[in-house]
């Protein structure tokens, strides 16, 4: 139960991290990957595609990183983005965000971009996520998609 609480808190933190008051940020429209794009499947079930290979510092467990991201439900409905805002800072291995998001950043290099396909079990699982106005943002048991750009590693 503690993990579910942690992930619920991380969901709110992830969704709120790029919120700076009442300013509305336009979430980019979901665009499918080109046909034939290679998809990697990890042992946990996370899938990802390398969109752009980075050339900078490698993100490893314990790294303090900053990322830009956009998140969609599996049906293409956008739910959050850092576009036009400050990158999201997090420490890999500290479980600041959902497991699939964190795992998807491991092994990236600064400047790299990945598309992550996060199964519900590595996302929020059976926990639904609501915004500060009690509006449903992420239904329970939702598979998620994120575009992630690694901006910095320390």
Which residues are catalytically annotated? 69, 79-80, 98, 124, 146
Computed on alpha carbons and rounded to an integer, the radius of gyration of the chain in Å comes to: 14
Q: Where are the alpha helices (DSSP H) in 57-97?
A: none
Q: Where are the alpha helices (DSSP H) in the chain?
A: 2-17, 99-105
Helix, strand, coil share of the chain (percent; to 5): 15, 30, 50
């Amino acid at each position: 139960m503690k993990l579910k609480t942690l992930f619920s808190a991380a969901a709110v933190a992830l969704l709120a991290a790029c919120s700076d008051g009442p300013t509305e940020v336009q979430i980019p429209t979901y665009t499918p990957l080109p046909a034939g794009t290679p998809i990697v499947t990890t042992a946990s079930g996370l899938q990802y595609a390398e969109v752009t290979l980075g050339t900078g510092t490698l993100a490893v467990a314990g790294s303090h990183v900053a990322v830009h991201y956009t998140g969609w439900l599996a049906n293409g409905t956008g739910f959050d983005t850092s576009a036009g805002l400050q990158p999201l800072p997090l420490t890999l291995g500290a479980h600041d965000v959902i497991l699939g998001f964190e795992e998807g950043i491991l092994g990236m290099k600064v400047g790299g971009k990945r598309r992550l396909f996060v199964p519900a079990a590595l996302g929020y699982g059976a926990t639904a996520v609501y915004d500060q106005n009690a509006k449903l943002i992420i239904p329970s048991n939702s598979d998620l998609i994120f575009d992630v750009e690694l901006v910095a590693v320390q």
